Structure 1
Amino acid sequence: MITFVDLFCGGGFGARGAVNAKAKPLLAVDAWELATETYKSNFPSAEVICSPIEKLKPSQLAKKHRPDVLLTSPECTSHSIARGAKPGSEKSKETAIGIIPWIKAMQPRWLIVENVNRMKKWGRHNELISTIESYGYTVNDLYLNAADFGTPQARKRMFLICDKEGSVITEKDLKSLHKRGLKDARSVIDWSGKYKSTPLYKPGRAQATIERAERAMESLGRGKDFIIVYYGSDYAGGWQSLDAPLRTITTLDRFGLVTWSGTTPYIRMLQPPELLKAMGAGSKHTLPHGNRREKVKLCGNGVCSPVMEMIFRQISQIHLGDRDLAS
C-alpha cells in the first residue's frame, strides 16, 4: 500500500482522492485548526498536527513517518487570480519553499505540489523547481482541469508530480485511468426544497445581482434555472448554465441558484453539502466542524478528490510495478 504525508492538508479533499486510490495517510499538517479537526474526523488513523510547517521539525517527524509520497498544497491565495488587484503576500508564497526541509528529511520517492497555475509567475518558482530537481526528482509539470476527471466543477490547477526514479507522467496517462463522464452543475444541486429561496425581485436586493440574473434570462429565456456567479474575474456576464460544470469554488460564497415558481424567479446561495459534492469527495467525506462560512472556505481551499485519485492510481501502478520488478 502506498503511504503519504499531507502538508497544507486542509479538510482532506486531496487525501480523500488518495485514499480512494487505496493509499494510506500517515501524517497531516495544517495551520488552521478547523481544517485539522475536519481531517482527523475523516481519517482517524492519521497523525494530524495543527501548526505552520515551518514551526515543526521534519527530521523528528521522519523518525516515525517515512512516506512513499509527500503530498503538498502550499498556500495559493497570494498567487490566485481571485485576489483581483490585491498585492500578494510574499510570506504566503514562500510556504512553497518551506516544503524543501520535508523532502530532505523524509526522502519520499514521490513529491506532489498542487497550486494555481499563476504560481509560475512567482519570482521563486524556478528556484523551487531547480531545488526539487537537485534532490534527484524528475518533475512532471501538468495543468489539469478537475472537470476532465468527472468532477462537477471546472477547477484548473497546476500539479507538479515528481519521481526520484525518473517516471514521465502525462495528462493523457491520467485520463486513461478515468472512466467517469462529464458531470454538470445540475448534479450537485439539492432539489428537495430543503434550502429555502427568496424572490429575486425583493426590496433591498443588490442591483448588481438583479443585472446578472437579467443577463442570464435574456440569454436563456424566462423559466430556465441558472446560477449567478459572484466574485473573482468574470468574463461570462456573472452567470452560468446548469448544463456545464460548476465554475471554480472559492473561499467565499460565490454561487446563487435561481429557480422559478410559475413566472416568479427565486434565488438562494449554494450550501456546503452542495459545494462538497462539487469537490468530488463522495459520500464518505464529511464536514462535521465549523459554521457555514467556514465550511465554504474549507471547500474553496481544497483539491478536487477525483484528480488526486487518478494521480495516486498512476503513482501506485508505477511504484508497485517497480517494486515487483525489484523483488
Structure 2
Amino acid sequence: MPFAPSPPLPSQAPAPGHYENFPVASWLCPPRLRPPIAAIYHFARTADDMADEGNALPEARLADLVDYRADLDAVFAGAAPSPRWPQVFGPLAAQAHAFALPHAPLADLLDAFAQDVAFTRHGRSYADRAELLDYCRRSADPIGRLLLHLYGVQDAQALRQSDAICSALQLINFWQDLSVDLPRGRRYLPLADCAAHGLAPEDFDRFAPLGDAPPPPAALALVAGQVQWARERMAQGAALVHRLPGRIGWELRLVVQGGLAILDKIEAQGFDSFRRRPTVGKADAPRLLWRALRM
C-alpha cells in the first residue's frame, strides 16, 4: 500500500521491518524522540502489512483493521488493548502517555488503509484530484502532523505546509509505483485526468508491465501532468524547512529533495513509470545533500 512520508534517503539508518519511506532511527533525529517515532512506525507498519501483505481475503483484512482500531481506541481511553498486538500497543501506550500523542491522526491512518483495501477489492479508481487528496489527507498527512507534534510545532501555517509536503510525497509514491500498483489492481490516476487525455482505466492494462504495448503518448502526457501537480504541491510546503529548528529542519530538507529527485527520475525516463520504477540510491546522495544545503 502506498504510503510516503519521505523517500528513502542516505541519512536513514536501517529501520526495523520494511515500512518504506518512514524516517525511523535517522541520525538526524534527537535521541529522546526515537522511542515515540519508532512506536508510531510500528503501529503504522503493522496496520499497513495487515491491509496489504500476504494472501488474506479483503474481508479478513478489513475485520483485522476493525479489531486493530478497537485496540487503538482502548489505548487512548486508558483501557487495556487485546493481547493480539502487544509489540505495537505496549510501546504506543507508553509513548502516547509520555508525549500526549493525538488520537485522530493515528485513527485517520487506519481509515485510509481500510479505504485502500475496499477500493482495490472493487477495482475502484479515484474520481478526481480532490478525492485523491482526501485520501492523502488520511494516509500521509497524519505522519507529518504527528512529527510536528513531537517537535512542539502546532501553528496553522506549519500544519498546512506539512500537509502539502506529505500529500506531495504520497502523490510521488503513486507516480513512482505505477508499474507495481496497476498489476495489483490499485488505481490512483484520477479518472477526470485520464478522461482529459482520452484514457479509461482498462486502457492501462495494455501497457502495464505485463502488457505488450508501450505506453501511448497520451499516457505519458497524463503522468507528466501528475508529476507537475506533485511538484506544485511540494512547492506549497517546502518553506517549512526554514521554520523548523535544528535536526528536524535538515531532516525535512532531505525528505523534500528526495521526493523531488524521484520526480526528476520519472521525467528523465520519459514519464514512463508504467514499466520501470525509478528509485533514489546512494549514488544520488551528493546531489541530494547539495540541494538540501541550497534550500
Is the pair's TM-score, using the shorter chain for normalization, greater than 0.5? Answer: no
| Greater C-alpha Rg | 1
